[in-house]
Amino acid sequence: MNRQTTLFTLEQIIEIQPLTKLQAVLTFIDYSIMLETFKIDVSKRGPKGFAYTSLLNALLAMQIDQIPTIKALVKRLKTDPVLRVTCGFDTIGKTPSASTFSRFIEKLSKTDVLEKTFQRMVRRAKTLGLINGSHVSIDASKIDAFEHAVPKSKIPENNPEFPHWGAKQDTNGNMIKWFGWKMHAVVDTTSGIPLGYIITPANVADMVMAIPLMNKLKADYEDLFKPSYYIMDTGYDIPSIYQHAVSFGAQAIMPINWRNTKTPPEGINWEGQLVCTMNYPYVNGGNDNGTIRLLCPHACGKANCPMGSSWCTSTKSGYIGKVKIKDNPRFISYPLRGTEAWDNLYDERTSVERFFGDGKENYALNNLRVAGLKKAKVFMDLACIAIIATRITKAEQSKNIAA
Per-position DSSP letters for 341-375, written without gaps between them: HHHHHHHTTHHHHHHHHHHHHHS-TT---S-SHHH
pLDDT of residue 14: 46
Inter-CA distances, 177 with 69, 200, 274, Å:
24, 16, 37
Q: Residue ranges of the domains in the chain?
A: 10-109, 113-233+349-402
Specify the range with the lowest mean pLDDT, choosing from 47-51, 79-83, 234-238. 47-51
Instruction: State yes or no: pLDDT of 41 exceeds 50.
Output: no
* Euclidean distance between CA atoms 167 and 79, whole angstroms: 42
* Higher-scoring residue by pLDDT: 318, 334: 334
Going 221 to 224 to 228 to 234, the CA torsion angle's sign is negative
* Euclidean distance between CA atoms 135 and 283, whole angstroms: 24
* Euclidean distance between CA atoms 239 and 250, whole angstroms: 14
* Higher-scoring residue by pLDDT: 134, 260: 134
pLDDT of residue 306: 85
pLDDT of residue 42: 43
User: What's the mean per-residue pLDDT of the chain?
Assistant: 89
Inter-residue contact 131 to 193 (CB < 8 Å): yes
* Euclidean distance between CA atoms 136 and 193, whole angstroms: 10
Instruction: State yes or no: pLDDT of 388 exceeds 60.
Output: yes
User: 264-276 burial, b if ≥16 CB within 10 A, otherwise e?
Assistant: beeebbeebbbbb
pLDDT of residue 8: 47
Overall pTM > 0.85:
yes
**Taking the CA of residue 94 as centre, how many other CA atoms within 13 Å lie in the half-sphere pointing to its CB?**
9
Instruction: State yes or no: pLDDT of 295 exceeds 70.
Output: yes
Distance of CA 335 to the CA centre of its chain: 25
pLDDT (average), residues 28-44: 77
Inter-residue contact 251 to 229 (CB < 8 Å): yes
Instruction: State yes or no: pLDDT of 281 exceeds 80.
Output: yes
